[in-house]
Each structure stands twice: as C-alpha cells, then as structure tokens.
C-alpha cells in the first residue's frame, strides 16, 4: 500500500474496532480484573496469529498496531494496580501485574506454535 494517508486511516479504523471490543471484554471482573487479562491475552494471540500468517507488511501493521493495539491495554494494568495499591490490596496488585505478563506471553507463544 503506497498511500500513507490510507494506511493511517486503516490503522485508526482497526484500532477503533479493537478499542470497542476491549470495552465489551473488559467488563468481566471479580476479585481480579479478568476482562483485562482476557483482552491482553486475545491481543497477544492475535499478534502471533497475524505475524505467523503470510501477509504483506502493510497488513501486518494494520492488524498488529491497529487492531491488536486497540484491543490491548497497558493503561488498564496500571490503573488496576494503582487501585489495588491504594485500597491496601498489595497481593492483588502483584498478582495482577504477574498475570498481565504471563497470560499475553503464553497466548502469543501458543498462537505462534499452532498457526
């Protein structure tokens, strides 16, 4: 794709779609922010799946930066950790941080392995 304006617009559109999906997925809560783990895990798996495919560089960027980037959220991890810390729930803060690292790495590895 030689048109940088179109490329930018497509990244924005797919980023918006990822963000909308994140809004619905992140609602799953409980003692820990399970929806947050789900969105980041799905985004990492999506990155692995897209990267394992035989796609042109432009489509890789649109899918990974746009869709997976809109779906994943580091700010959600930081906010959850901040909230747990200020409520005195240090164990939940540490567990949220650890799970937020392990789940995306695991789903990325599985996606790369089985595609």
Instruction: Please write the tens of the pLDDT for every residue from 84-100.
Output: 999 999 999 999 999 99
Q: Which domain holds residue 29?
A: 4-113
pLDDT at 1 over 80: no
Position 54 confidence tier, pLDDT thresholds 50, 70, 90: confident
Looking at per-residue confidence, does 69 or 30 come out higher?
A: 69
> How many domains does the structure of the chain reveal?
1
Q: Rounded to two decimals, what is the model's pTM?
A: 0.89
Q: What is the DSSP letter of 67?
A: I
Provide mean pLDDT across the span 17-23.
95
**Is the model's pLDDT at 73 over the cut of 90?**
no
* Coil, helix or strand at residue 72: coil
Residue of 100, 3, 8, 108 whose CA lies nearest to 50? 108
Q: What separation, in Å, do the N-terminal and C-terminal C-alpha atoms of the chain show?
A: 25
10: confidence class by pLDDT, cuts 50, 70, 90? very high
Mean pLDDT of the residues in the chain = 93
Q: What is the mean pLDDT of residues 6-32?
A: 93
* 39-52: average pLDDT: 94
pLDDT tier at 81, thresholds 50, 70, 90:
very high
């Amino acid at each position: 794709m030689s048109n940088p304006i179109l490329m930018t617009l497509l990244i924005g559109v797919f980023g918006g779609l990822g963000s909308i999906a994140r809004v619905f997925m992140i609602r799953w809560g409980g003692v820990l922010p399970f929806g947050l783990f789900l969105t980041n895990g799905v985004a990492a798996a999506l990155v692995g799946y897209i990267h394992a495919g035989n796609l042109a560089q432009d489509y890789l960027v649109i899918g990974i930066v746009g869709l997976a980037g809109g779906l994943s959220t580091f700010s959600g991890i930081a906010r959850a950790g901040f909230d747990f810390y200020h409520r005195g729930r240090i164990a939940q803060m540490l567990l949220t941080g650890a799970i937020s690292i392990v789940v995306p790495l695991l789903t990325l590895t599985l996606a790369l392995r089985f595609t």
